[in-house]
Amino acid sequence: MPPAQRRRNAFRYTRKAVSFATWLLWIGFIALAIGGYAAWEGHRTLSWPRASAEIIASDVSVVDETRPTQPGAGQPPTSPETAPRAIVAYRYSVDGVAFEGTRLEPWTLGLPSQSIARELAETPLAPGTTVEIAYNPRDARIAYLKPGPSHTALSLAIVGAILFAMGLVMGKITRRA
């Protein structure tokens, strides 16, 4: 292969690698930013005041979901998976005003928290049980059964950090080539 052809092929490879590294950087940065912000906001709930709450209703169910699998993986075309889902309602009062809440964790980003559901499945909360919740001092209608950063936010921040780091490393390697 002539040297000019080798240079053109190397340039095409480098351009594609730089483009891929840039995409990894951006996707990682966005995931890290959203997950980091959600984790920080969740961390702030640890300093919120606490109140005693009574469990009104508690339903931890295991939902069977059927998801398609890869064909030819030695499994039937679908495989069942179980996913626990938790719904907990509680009643609490702040300064003599009664409130009801259903939030389990802060900043779950709309995704169901399976880790909290598994934890509640192991130690179910019966109606009438007294638990401690954290409520927002500015708006007591906002309360959480498990204050602190949610597992969803932490996972998103970790995945974002890994993708961002991979993009940085790949960019450095590409620049040296």
Extract the tokens encoding 137: 């001092």
**Which tens digit of pLDDT belongs to each residue from 69-117?**
555 555 555 555 666 677 889 999 999 999 999 998 898 877 766 777 7
Q: List the Cα angle 50/54/58 in 5-degree steps.
A: 115
Kindly report the pTM of this predicted structure.
Answer: 0.73
Do the beta carbons of residue 88 and residue 102 sit within 8 Å? yes
Task: Determine the pLDDT at residue 40.
Answer: 96
Segment 165-177 mean pLDDT: 83
User: Quick check: helix, strand or coil at residue 74?
Assistant: coil
Among 77-86, 125-134, 159-168, the range scoring the smallest mean pLDDT is 77-86
Task: Determine the pLDDT at residue 122.
Answer: 74
Task: Determine the pLDDT at residue 83.
Answer: 64
